[in-house]
């Protein structure tokens, strides 16, 4: 600052006499000369505007008085006319005129004068706030920005505007672009809604309530399943906030399920725990601001939480996790955790394994910090009946063997995802040890051989599975797309064996990307006399050889089917879909549902 | 007796005495009403073809019947839009739908 001022002084060394005020103003960066100039400019501006307005006013006066009954002979009128002519000339030179003219070329009404006249009339219309006469009823009214233009260019009063608009609407019904319908259809399909008939009244009402959630003060006596569904829909709409959360807080209820907590903060979790002291099941997803003190509170109140399902509580430290398991671990029945990267390490899993002596269900998905040691601890938890693991670190396959050896006889469901190095020995062990499995997921692996998979299912003493997921169990070699001669992954033989073993009970089957299952294997599995009475969900995405014929075979064999996922099955071109089945992922196919062709579904 | 079980129309009565006479097939979209009217059940409703729904008011039952007819009318169509429900009625209707199993 000081530097600048010094500079300025140097630059203006020579000056005439000046007052103390000028000096002071100069020191504050205000120049007397500039003030004078500004003032002069303002005065000139006002004068010019006044002159213009006078001219405009003249033109305004002229139109209503003289246009309806032109009397060209009066000399006064000639003057007005000349003025109008001048104004029109001016308009013709304006940029706006050029722009409109450019837009108009090609239309029959390509007349400069008419256009200029029209613009002139537009300019002369009263601006919002002024009074004007309605073009239709002649009533005097205040012009607003919403006033409509009448049939011959004048403005209309509110009443006439309304009537006029009504006429317009009838003439041109609202057009929906075909794109919206298609998107909506695809979205419904992904939700598993088939396009036929109406939705249930319950579902319609739940949707309506979700739409108007901000007006709802209390839910009243809604039964828990309805509350659960509402919670799901609201979460999907991302409408769960502190205020909507209150609707779900019922002191007498024992469980709470909130699938999107992203808009809640730490105090809201406090509120949940404080208002629902009987809570046994706490199921919260996207719980980013969950902090240590919430867990501390849970421990201080000695809450009887039996089912703890949390997605991404990343601000909770390892120390507090361990405390939680030490204090409340013995009463936990199920623990499901997703997406943890900054805490929850091997040591915490060790504490978990030691203290959660009643745990029956354990699901750990996308946990970054756990590895071999955690698997070792898990293998000691003999009470587990349901185990689901998807860890991010690379682990040694021997530990999986250990887990299956130790826990296998007790397991009802086993889900192992992305264990790249698990191999055939694991399959053999599953065959030996597991006799009560209902759900088996061995996904994302390129080591299992088709032979070993077929061997697992042939003569396995385990009863039929109701849930099987082998997605992305296949050989990946860009140089050899057909795969090795001895098939790797779930291929033809394994698939047929799986369907033979579990066909009677299977409800959900995912063989996405198992691309070495042959056409013949599909034909065999979905042959004429095969029936899979309970199969509801089937995912055969990226099984490229499935064509229209096979799809029809699938429909024939699976009477209970509700969803068929066929992303990347480009040979499906034209199929007849039975009622109640949602086919997801077709591209450009012609779908006929129960005799109705659904072009817009495509 | 045999007549009423076979009759094409049934009567639904609200708690405040409004009666709605609608086709049997439409009313049987509701699991609760279907079971009430099931001849095998030998409920008095199945004999008389008249269901008194004590916990539904006339306003709600009217809307429910509207839904029954809407559903009946559109059951073979694709991409049916949802029925219009006034916002102030939707919580009550939700309870009714839950009770009626529709």
Query: What domain count does chain B have?
Result: 1
pLDDT in tens, A477-501: 888 888 888 899 999 999 999 999 9
Asked if pLDDT for residue A12 goes beyond 90, the answer is: no
- Helix ranges, A356-415 (H): 372-378, 397-407
Give me A448's structure tokens: 């299992």
* Inter-residue contact B13 to B51 (CB < 8 Å): yes
Q: Cβ B78–A593 below 8 Å, yes or no?
A: yes
Residues 6+ apart with CB under 8 A from A506: A464, A465, A466, A467, A468, A499, A532, A534, A535
- Pick the residue from chain B with its C-alpha nearest to A222: B95
Q: Is A57 on the interface with B (CB under 8 A)?
A: no
Q: What are the residues facing A362 on neighbouring strands?
A: A335, A387
- What are the chain A neighbours of B93 within 8 Å (beta carbons)? 201, 205
Using 50, 70 and 90 to split pLDDT, how confident is the model at A340?
very high
Q: What are the residues facing A42 on neighbouring strands?
A: none
Identify the weakest region by mean pLDDT among A14-28, A319-333, A357-371: A14-28
Mean pLDDT of A397-414: 94
Specify the pairing of strand A413-417 against strand A439-443.
Answer: parallel
pLDDT at A81: 74
Classify residue A581 as exposed, middle or buried by CB count within 10 Å of its CB (0-12, 13-18, 19+).
buried
Nearest CA to CA, how far is A165 from chain B (Å)?
Answer: 25
B98 closest CB neighbour out of A226, A593, A600: A226
3-state secondary structure at position A564: strand
- What are the chain A neighbours of B76 within 8 Å (beta carbons)? 196-197, 594, 596
- Pick the residue from chain A with its C-alpha nearest to B69: A198
Q: Which CATH architecture has domain A416-602?
A: Alpha-Beta Horseshoe (3.80)
Residues 20-59, chain B, touching A (beta carbon < 8 A): none
d(CA A98, CA B12): 71
Residues 60-99, chain B, touching A (beta carbon < 8 A): 64, 67, 70-71, 74-80, 82-83, 85, 87, 90-91, 93-98
Compare A519 and B87 and report the one with higher pLDDT. Answer: A519
Mutation target for A interface from B90, B96, B100: give the one with most A CBs within 10 A.
B90
- What are the chain B neighbours of A206 within 8 Å (beta carbons)? 94
pLDDT at A75: 57
* Inter-residue contact A178 to A568 (CB < 8 Å): no
Residues 6+ apart with CB under 8 A from A410: A382, A383, A384, A385, A436
Nearest CA to CA, how far is A201 from chain B (Å)?
Answer: 6
pLDDT in tens, B66-90: 999 998 888 877 777 888 888 888 8
Give me A473's structure tokens: 């169990």
Length of chain B: 102
Length of chain A: 602
Compare B59 and A93 and report the one with higher pLDDT. Answer: B59
Average pLDDT, chain A: 83
Mutation target for B interface from A181, A187, A198: give the one with most B CBs within 10 A.
A198
- What are the chain B neighbours of A197 within 8 Å (beta carbons)? 71, 74-77, 80
A–B interface: beta-carbon pairs under 8 A: 82
Q: Is A168 on the interface with B (CB under 8 A)?
A: no
Asked if pLDDT for residue A11 goes beyond 60, the answer is: no
Nearest CA to CA, how far is A374 from chain B (Å)?
Answer: 45
Q: What angle do CA A285, A288, A293 make, to 5 degrees?
A: 105
Neighbours of A562 (CB within 10 A): 14
Half-sphere exposure of A386 (CA within 13 A, CB side): 11
Using 50, 70 and 90 to split pLDDT, how confident is the model at A71?
very low
Question: Could you give the strand order of the β-sheet that contains B9-13, starting from the edge strand earlier in sequence?
Answer: B19-23, B9-13, B50-52
d(CA B2, CA B25): 17
d(CA A364, CA A340): 9
pLDDT in tens, A267-318: 999 999 999 999 999 999 999 889 999 999 999 999 999 999 999 999 999 9
In chain A, % of residues over pLDDT 90: 49
Q: Cβ A222–B79 below 8 Å, yes or no?
A: no
Q: Is A182 on the interface with B (CB under 8 A)?
A: no
Local structure of residue A330 (DSSP, 8 states): G
Mean pLDDT of A358-367: 95
d(CA A31, CA A15): 14
Q: Locate the DSSP E strands across A356-474.
A: 361-367, 386-391, 413-417, 439-443, 467-469
Sign of CA dihedral A382, A383, A385, A391: negative
- Chain mean position to CA A322: 35
Identify the weakest region by mean pLDDT among A6-10, A146-150, A489-493, A540-544: A6-10
pTM higher than the cut 0.95: no
Domain range spanning residue B38?
A: 2-100
Nearest CA to CA, how far is B54 from chain A (Å)?
Answer: 17
ipTM: 0.90
Q: Is A600 on the interface with B (CB under 8 A)?
A: yes
The residue to which tokens 């008095």 are assigned: B44
- Helix ranges, A301-363 (H): 318-328, 346-355
Mean pLDDT of B37-57: 87
Q: Locate the DSSP E strands across A26-166.
A: 131-133, 140-142
């Amino acid at each position: 600052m000081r530097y600048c001022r010094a500079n300025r002084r140097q630059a203006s060394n020579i000056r005439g006499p000046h007052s103390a005020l000028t000096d002071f103003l100069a020191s504050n960066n205000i120049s007397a000369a500039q003030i004078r100039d500004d003032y002069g400019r303002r005065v000139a501006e006002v004068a010019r505007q006044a002159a213009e307005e006078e001219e405009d006013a003249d033109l305004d006066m002229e139109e209503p008085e003289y246009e309806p009954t032109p009397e060209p002979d009066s000399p006064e009128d000639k003057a007005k006319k000349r003025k109008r002519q001048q104004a029109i000339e001016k308009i013709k030179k304006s940029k706006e005129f050029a722009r409109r003219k450019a837009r108009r070329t090609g239309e029959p009404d390509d007349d400069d004068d008419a256009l200029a006249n029209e613009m002139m009339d537009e300019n002369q219309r009263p601006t919002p706030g002024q009074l004007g006469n309605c073009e239709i009823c002649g009533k005097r009214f205040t012009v607003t920005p919403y006033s409509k233009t009448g049939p011959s260019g004048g403005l209309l009063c509110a009443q006439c505007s309304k009537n006029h608009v009504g006429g317009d609407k009838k003439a041109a019904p609202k057009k929906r672009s075909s794109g919206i319908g298609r998107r909506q259809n695809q979205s419904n399909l992904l939700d598993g809604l088939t396009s036929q008939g109406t939705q249930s009244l319950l579902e319609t009402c739940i949707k309506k309530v979700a739409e108007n959630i901000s007006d709802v003060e209390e839910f009243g006596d809604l039964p828990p399943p309805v509350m659960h569904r509402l919670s799901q829909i609201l979460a999907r709409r991302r409408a769960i906030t502190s205020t909507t959360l209150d609707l779900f807080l019922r002191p007498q209820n024992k469980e709470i399920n909130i699938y999107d907590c992203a808009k809640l903060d730490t105090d809201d979790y406090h509120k949940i725990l404080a208002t629902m002291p009987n809570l046994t099941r706490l199921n919260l997803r996207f719980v980013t601001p969950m902090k240590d003190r919430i867990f501390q509170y849970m421990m201080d109140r000695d809450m009887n939480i039996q089912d703890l399902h949390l997605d991404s509580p990343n601000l909770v430290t390892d120390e507090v996790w361990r405390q939680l398991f030490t204090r409340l671990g013995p009463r936990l029945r199920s623990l499901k955790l997703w997406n943890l990267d900054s805490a929850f390490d091997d040591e915490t899993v060790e504490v978990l394994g030691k203290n959660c002596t009643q745990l029956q269900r354990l699901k750990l998905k996308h946990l970054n910090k756990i590895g071999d040691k955690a698997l070792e601890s898990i293998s000691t938890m003999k009470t587990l009946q349901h185990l689901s693991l998807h860890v991010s670190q690379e682990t040694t396959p021997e530990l999986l063997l250990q887990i299956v050896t130790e826990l296998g006889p007790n397991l009802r469901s086993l889900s192992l995802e992305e264990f790249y190095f698990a191999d055939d020995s694991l399959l053999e062990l599953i065959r030996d040890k597991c006799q009560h499995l209902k759900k088996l997921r061995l996904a994302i692996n390129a080591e299992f051989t088709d032979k070993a998979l077929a061997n697992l299912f042939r003569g396995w003493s385990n009863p039929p599975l109701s849930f099987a997921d082998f997605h992305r169990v296949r050989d990946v070699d860009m140089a050899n797309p057909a795969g090795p001669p001895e098939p790797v992954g779930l291929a033809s033989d394994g698939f047929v064996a799986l369907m033979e073993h579990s066909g009677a009970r299977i409800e959900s089957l995912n063989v996405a990307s198992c691309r070495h299952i042959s056409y013949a294997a599909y034909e065999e599995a979905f042959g004429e006399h095969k029936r899979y009475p309970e199969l509801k969900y089937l995912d055969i995405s990226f099984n490229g050889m499935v064509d229209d014929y096979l799809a029809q075979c699938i429909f024939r064999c699976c009477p209970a089917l509700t969803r068929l996922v066929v992303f990347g099955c480009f040979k499906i071109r034209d199929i007849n879909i039975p009622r109640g089945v949602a086919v997801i992922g077709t591209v450009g196919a012609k779908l006929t549902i129960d005799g109705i062709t659904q072009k817009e579904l495509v | 007796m045999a007549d009423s079980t076979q009759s094409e129309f049934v009567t639904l009565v609200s708690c405040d005495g409004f009666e709605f006479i609608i086709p049997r097939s439409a009313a049987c979209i509701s699991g609760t009403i279907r079971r009430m009217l099931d001849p095998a059940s030998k409920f008095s409703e199945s004999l008389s073809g008249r269901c008194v729904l004590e916990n539904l008011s006339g306003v709600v039952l009217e809307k429910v019947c509207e839904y029954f007819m809407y559903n009946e009318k559109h059951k073979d169509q694709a991409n049916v839009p949802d029925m219009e429900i006034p916002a102030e009625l939707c919580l009550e209707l939700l309870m009714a739908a839950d009770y009626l199993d529709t």
